[in-house]
Structure 1
């Protein structure tokens, strides 16, 4: 009988990187949506580099660990940020038609992301309550943003801004909680672990 080698994974947990990339970028964009600051290169740069590239890297690391849920989430939302920046910037630099996109176009885009997020939210029922809050509030955020685009009513965008700040802060909390809990080797910041069957 041949002895099997046990492979031990000494790599770090990439989830905090993905959660922080998502959370911090979400807070900054929704500070704009709530009406506090104009859209600027600060928000767009965060969308490209931290919300986008850092999340994709975290997703690839999760894939190497065999974590399908986290890999799908981080890579998808990383590319969400990159496509969003593309939608905002490409027409302005002449890489695409200068004709403004219709509200329905952006509404459909946001609706697709809302549907994706809703299904991912169902997946969190087996994970922890902190992630349930992140994905649940993100689903609501996409619904509000899509409603604003379809209706043309700016109040939806403002409400979405405040709700998005809460969503982003919840992702920041979840990411930092994972870091602190691992560093201290105990629960410093609770995540609301779900009892598995």
Structure 2
């Protein structure tokens, strides 16, 4: 077994991946606690979607661009704008700016994000096992959300909530691992480094 080495920034720019992963993970967990049926959509989720899941991920993506990381740029910026668009889908109808999306429209919205996530999953095969789990579980989450909206089955939506909590938690773990492994200069939390050939 090859020992895992922590990643250290060598270009004078801090690693933005932990920020992006934590922003995605915390927001995903909170939304999916709602999906699991513990509380209704409220300002806490919307605010997290705008400011942490949304803006913080976009910022992380822009920093990834400065680090010449196309995968990080694409993933963090895209999912940041996913959160902003999701908040827009919830808020715009209440403001009278647009009609509420139908279940079919939401299936298309969530489905295209699932396809996008599945495509990005193949990029993680060259990164780490932890990221592979994040993107695989996110693909499953989108599939469950589409299934739930397509059928109107409350049990499927609740299952998606629990699966989303797992997905978000895995992103938080991966983000915190990036922070702690760098701070301590050794592997504190393993992420399953992939050997590149």
TM value normalised by structure 2 = 0.94
Q: What runs of 5+ residues in structure 1 fail to find an aligned partner?
A: 1-7
Selected match of 1:37 from 39, 42, 53: 39
Partner of 1:86: 88
Aligned-residue CA RMSD (Å): 0.7
Residue 153 of structure 1: how far off its partner (Å): 1.1
Q: Secondary structure of the equivalent of 1:181?
A: helix
Q: What runs of 5+ residues in structure 2 fail to find an aligned partner?
A: 1-9
Selected match of 1:67 from 66, 69, 75: 69
Selected match of 1:16 from 15, 18, 21: 18
Distance 2:12 2:82 in 1: 30
List structure 1 runs of 4+ shifted beyond 4 angstroms. Answer: none
Residue 101 of structure 1: how far off its partner (Å): 2.0
Distance 2:80 2:58 in 1: 5
The C-alpha deviation readout for 1:28-58, integer Å capped at 9, x for no partner, is: 0000000011110000000000000000000
Distance 1:147 1:178 in 2: 33
Which structure has more relative contact order (CA 8 Å, sep 6+)? It is: 2
The C-alpha deviation readout for 1:62-117, integer Å capped at 9, x for no partner, is: 011000001100000000000000000000011223xx321000000000000000
The aligned length equals 188
Partner of 1:153: 153
